Chain A
Amino acid sequence: MVQIQFYSLIRLLIKQEKLEIPACENETVGQLLDRVQQQIATPFLYKLLDDNRQLHTGTIILVNRHNIRHLDFLETRVNDGDVVAFFPPGAGG
């Protein structure tokens, strides 16, 4: 299983904190995102990706605690047992 965690405004938007879905062999974060969206009634992918499926800058995506921008971006592989987190941090102070 892959554990998906939603934080802050993403959690509020979809009204869900966690989701577990079966892992798929050789799946990437980008593919996982589409599969997660299929299981959640509220559209939320537009918060993460632009029209060209490039990452927005407002939300960070972590796989096993590491920002995917330091891995392979949306091509980062997701394996059984992995934890994927979506977190839009507060920028101000």
Chain B
Amino acid sequence: MAIDERYARQVLHWGEQQQQQIGTAVVLVAGVGGLGATVSQLLVRAGVGKLYLVDDGLVDWPDLNRQLLYAEEDIGSSKLMLAIDRLRRINSAIEIVPLPGKIDETFNLPGDVTVVADCLDNYQSRFLLEATVPKGCCLVHAGVQGEQGQVLTLRKGQSQRLSDFYAGALQPGGDIPVTGDAVAVMAGLQCHELFAVIGGEPKLLDRCLVVSLSDFHISFLDI
């Protein structure tokens, strides 16, 4: 099968130049849970150049409502290794590199990463991830809770820091309510912004897209 054939339908939309930019992009997806499982799948299907995945979790029953790479037989297995396997079966041409472990003070961002996707599920890890992003590199953040979510792009050294924007926003206690449809919508929006960043024209740079599925409302919060 020709590569041209695999990507034919999206090239009709965004053109050869954008496809080439995606094909040379190196994306790190932090977290392959709700957001990350879908974001990484969309990136691989689109033909991203190289993908780093970070996660330390195991598949559990409450994950299956929204984490679209996993199934019942995966309960108890490593999300990261399952994701790598599934993604390679979707697109064997993509270089996919697992980075096992948590995002903590010892995490180092690989030097060839060109854009970072924050698909994490807690503020502490998000802030630690942000600290590793090099100057000039874009961090595309997303979060979701219930039927609400947000996507925001920050350029390190130019934008205000995510940890400053979210100062005081402590993690809620207990399990966060979340549905599969809301996560899929927010992951799609996050990936859409990742493609915009890769194409050199981020739409949400310093501009938080706030989505309320409760009444199909979107708004922008400039920061």
Residues of A within 8 A of B118 (CB): 93
Residue in contact with A60 in the complex, picked from B31, B166, B214, B219, CB distance below 8 Å: B166
Checking B36, B145, B210 against A87 with a beta-carbon cut-off of 8 angstroms, the contacting residue is: B210
Main SS class of interface, A? mixed
- Looking at the complex, which one of B120, B150, B219 makes contact with A17 (CB distance below 8 Å)? B219
| Chain B interface residue count, Cβ-Cβ cutoff 8 angstroms | 42
Which of A55, A66, A91 lies at the interface centre, i.e. has the most chain B CB atoms within 10 A of its CB?
A91
Task: Specify the main secondary structure of chain B where it touches its partner.
Answer: mixed
A85 CA to B208 CA, complexed, in Å: 12
Please state if A91 and B31 are interface contacts (CB–CB under 8 Å). no
Known: A7-B210, A93-B34. A58 touches B172 (CB 8 A): yes
Q: Which of B143, B168, B172 has the most CB of A within 10 A?
A: B168
Enumerate chain A residues within 8 angstroms of B176, measured Cβ to Cβ. Answer: 91-92
Question: Min CB distance, B70 to chain A, in Å?
Answer: 15
Is the C-beta of A12 less than 8 angstroms from some C-beta in chain B? yes
A11 at interface by CB-CB < 8 Å = yes
Number of A-B contacts (CB under 8 A): 94
User: Knowing A7-B210, A12-B214, A87-B210 touch, does A92 contact B34 (C-beta < 8 A)?
Assistant: yes
In the assembly, what is the distance between CA of A25 and CA of B218, in Å? 33
Contact A91 B168 (CB under 8 A): no
> How distant is B73 from chain A, measured CB to nearest CB, in Å?
24
B210: A residues at CB distance < 8 A: 7-8, 87
Indicate if A26 sits at the interface (CB-CB under 8 A): no
Q: Which of B121, B167, B222 contacts A92 (CB 8 A)?
A: B121
Name which residue of chain B comes closest to A86, CB basis: B221
Name which of B165, B208, B212 has the most chain A CB atoms within 10 A of its CB.
B165
A62 within 8 A of B: yes
Contact with A along B144-171 (1 / 0, CB 8 A): 1110111000000000100011111111
